[in-house]
Amino acid sequence: MPRPDRIEYEDAIYHVMNRGRGRQIIFHDEDYYQAFETHLSEANKRIDVHIHAYCLMGNHYHLLLQTPRANLARVMRHINGVYTQRYNRL
């Protein structure tokens, strides 16, 4: 059963995190970290999200985001989807 939809607010600040499936490593070396940082920079410009802080760990990451347009679900779908594609290419 899926969890209920999250209520989203304009200009809200969220702490979000995501972990690799089964707590597997998602950042194997510096190339993976760099790809994710580049991706965050692109998302900041492309989707209208402000990234205030981030912490990348071996098997998960934390983000502190502000969403001016109440679009957290779209932001996270984009960040996770594009990084997954880059991860698979690496």
pLDDT at 46: 87
Q: In the sheet where 12-19 sits, what is the strand order?
A: 12-19, 60-67, 50-56
pLDDT in tens, the chain (90 residues): 777 777 888 999 999 999 988 889 999 999 999 999 998 988 888 888 999 999 999 999 999 999 999 989 889 888 888 888 888 888
Q: State the pTM of this model.
A: 0.85
pLDDT at 64: 96
Say which CATH topology domain 12-89 has: Alpha-Beta Plaits (3.30.70)
Looking only at the bridges linking them, the beta strands covering 60-67 and 50-56 are antiparallel
